[in-house]
């Protein structure tokens, strides 16, 4: 048998075992007989040590010139490029999504690191005229302090990069707790940060459960900002904990995203977009398309096209380049998806295909699920309202654009939306009226680029945005600076 490698926490520039000496196994969701790695089951003592290290490193790091901070993060990007393939393969092993997608996950981190490293030489503030003579007015960005980054399992390098790179370039120090299903990818990312020359204590990593270290990290008095990506239920708990301490927090949570297919759409193009949005990452994306809203004039034709292609999807081990969909991440997630399929049938949805575990012998050791398609779904059904986070797509009929927009917006979430149409007037009306943070025209609901803000409305978040220059708003505080060189006491707003 292959010896299982044990990975350590990273605290104050050193790789350390947990004070409790306990570990947990990270298994391959495509074949649970394979243990990808063994990780530290951290204790509160480990967590306190990590936060103390971040707090201790903060004064020197915030005084490090921002261009120098950016140069270190640029080197992180260079290292990610060199190790892209090995990082992608390890990610597929621990998370399950197909290798083409894990390469994209790493590429997103590369893009984020290159792009945001440049903010070390920008970090833009404002200069404005003063209302008084011989007085200079400007605003500058200051780091927030110690950041707690709590990241999910579905994008195990991309999403950590969204948090770590902007936080660090802005002069903050960080403690990151990766999802227990995907700690190897974050370990590798932190390792590259160390290799790039990040000083001890600036970035720290502790692995373990949310109950053991996640909640104590959120509640730690020396943590100044919590950056969380995960479910809306957990996000509301994070918000309540932070609010009690008057602590800053950024939440990126769930979605119930929809693609609208109008009667003038290029149906072949729309078909590709819907398949990619619904079954990419096995539906385990906050931006996944779980509702397709089809104009009644093309409903029958498009449903036939979609059913044929859904049934033909190749499901299997993500390391096989020919496969189009991998397993779900764990058994709990698979059971959740199965339960929603049962709910869909009970509610009156017509199950066209899928709805159950894949039972063939080649799937028996993994968390595989059938690509699933429901028809005759109304917008009030639970399968059309609640986030399933699996390969389940509901088809909903609409009569016109206004009706489609009404259905899209009839959701407690507001992350991503898309519309397929050849009518530019319809496209612009949709852009204005779809209540989501992201809208695509003639493209799927997934595929956001790092140079624009990422996030949503309503129950998807708390108003912050990740990526782009918007990320600076999370990880910096504004400071207004006035320089009076008149040599006299001047009083703004007071008549002389």
Residue 349 confidence (pLDDT) above 70? yes
Residue 224 confidence (pLDDT) above 90? yes
pLDDT of res. 496? 62
Query: What is residue 5's DSSP assignment?
Result: P
Residue 1 confidence (pLDDT) above 60? no
Band the pLDDT of 102: cuts 50, 70, 90: very high
Active-site annotation holder among 286, 289, 341, 398: 286
Task: Compute φ and ψ for 277, nearest 5 degrees.
Answer: -70, -35
Q: Which residue has the tokens 């004070």?
A: 19
Cβ pair 259, 447 in contact under 8 A: no
pLDDT of res. 489? 95
Overall average pLDDT of the 129-136 stretch? 96
The answer to whether 252 is a known catalytic residue is: yes
Sign of CA dihedral 16, 20, 21, 23: negative
Overall average pLDDT of the 455-480 stretch? 96
Residue 78 confidence (pLDDT) above 60? yes
**CA angle (178, 26, 11) in 5-degree steps:** 40
pLDDT of res. 188? 98
pLDDT of res. 359? 86
pLDDT of res. 132? 95
Among residues of the chain, what percentage have pLDDT more than 70? Answer: 100
Walk me through the domains of the chain, giving residue ranges and CATH numbers.
9-253+461-480 (3.40.605.10), 257-441 (3.40.309.10)
* Radius of gyration of the chain measured on its C-alpha atoms: 24
pLDDT of res. 36? 97
pLDDT of res. 384? 98
pLDDT of res. 401? 98
Task: Output the pTM of the full model.
Answer: 0.96
Overall average pLDDT of the 270-291 stretch? 98
Report the helix count and the strand count for the chain, using DSSP H and E: 15, 21
Overall average pLDDT of the 268-297 stretch? 98
Q: What is the pLDDT of residues 18-40, one digit of tens each?
A: 999 999 999 999 999 999 999 99
What's the mean per-residue pLDDT of the chain?
97
CA distances from 465 to 115, 319, 454 (A): 16, 33, 5
Active-site annotation holder among 101, 252, 387, 466: 252
pLDDT of res. 2? 73
Residue 147 confidence (pLDDT) above 60? yes
Q: What is the pLDDT of residues 295-341, one digit of tens each?
A: 999 999 999 999 999 999 999 999 999 999 999 999 999 999 999 99
The answer to whether 286 is a known catalytic residue is: yes
């Amino acid at each position: 048998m292959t010896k299982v490698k044990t990975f350590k926490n990273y605290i104050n520039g050193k790789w350390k075992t947990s004070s409790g000496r306990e570990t947990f196994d990270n298994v391959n969701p495509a074949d649970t007989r394979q243990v990808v790695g063994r990780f530290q089951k951290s204790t509160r003592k480990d967590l306190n040590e990590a936060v103390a290290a971040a707090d201790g490193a903060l004064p020197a790091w915030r005084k490090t010139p921002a261009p120098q901070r950016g140069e270190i993060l640029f080197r992180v990007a260079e290292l990610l490029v060199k190790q892209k393939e090995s990082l992608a393969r390890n990610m597929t092993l621990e998370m399950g999504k197909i290798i083409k997608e894990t390469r994209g996950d790493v590429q997103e981190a590369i893009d984020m690191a290159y792009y945001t490293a440049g903010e070390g030489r920008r970090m833009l503030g404002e200069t404005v005229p003063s209302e008084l003579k011989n007085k200079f007015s400007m605003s500058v960005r200051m780091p927030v302090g110690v950041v707690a980054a709590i990241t999910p399992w579905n994008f195990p390098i991309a999403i950590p990069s969204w948090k770590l790179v902007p936080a660090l370039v802005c002069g903050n120090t960080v403690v990151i707790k990766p999802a227990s299903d995907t700690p190897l990818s974050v370990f590798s990312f932190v390792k590259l940060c160390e290799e790039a020359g990040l000083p001890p204590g600036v970035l720290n990593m502790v692995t373990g459960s949310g109950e053991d270290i996640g909640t104590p990290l959120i509640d730690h008095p020396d943590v100044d900002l919590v950056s969380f990506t995960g479910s809306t239920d957990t996000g509301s708990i994070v918000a309540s904990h932070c609010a009690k301490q008057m602590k800053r927090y950024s939440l990126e949570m769930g979605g119930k995203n929809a693609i609208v297919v109008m009667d003038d759409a290029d149906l072949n193009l729309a078909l590709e977009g819907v398949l990619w949005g619904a079954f990419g990452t096995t539906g385990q994306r906050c931006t996944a398309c779980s509702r397709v809203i089809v104009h009644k004039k093309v409903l029958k034709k498009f449903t036939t096209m979609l059913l044929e292609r859904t049934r033909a999807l190749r499901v299997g081990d993500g390391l096989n380049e020919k496969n189009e969909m991998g397993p779900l991440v764990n058994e709990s997630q698979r059971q959740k998806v199965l339960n929603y399929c049962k709910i869909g049938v009970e509610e009156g949805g017509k199950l066209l295909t899928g709805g159950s575990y894949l039972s063939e012998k080649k799937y028996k050791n993994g968390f595989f699920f059938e690509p699933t398609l429901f028809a005759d779904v109304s917008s009030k059904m639970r399968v059309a309202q609640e986030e399933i986070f699996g390969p389940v797509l509901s088809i909903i009929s609409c009569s016109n654009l206004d009706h489609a927009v009404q259905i899209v917006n009839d959701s407690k979430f507001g992350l991503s939306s898309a519309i397929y149409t050849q009518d530019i007037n319809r496209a612009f009306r949709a852009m204005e009226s779809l209540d989501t943070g992201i809208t695509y025209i003639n493209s799927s609901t997934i595929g956001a680029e790092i140079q624009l803000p990422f996030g949503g409305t309503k129950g998807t978040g708390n108003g912050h945005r990740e990526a782009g220059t918007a990320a600076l708003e999370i990880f910096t505080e504004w400071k207004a600076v006035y320089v009076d060189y008149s040599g006299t006491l001047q009083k703004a707003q007071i008549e002389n």
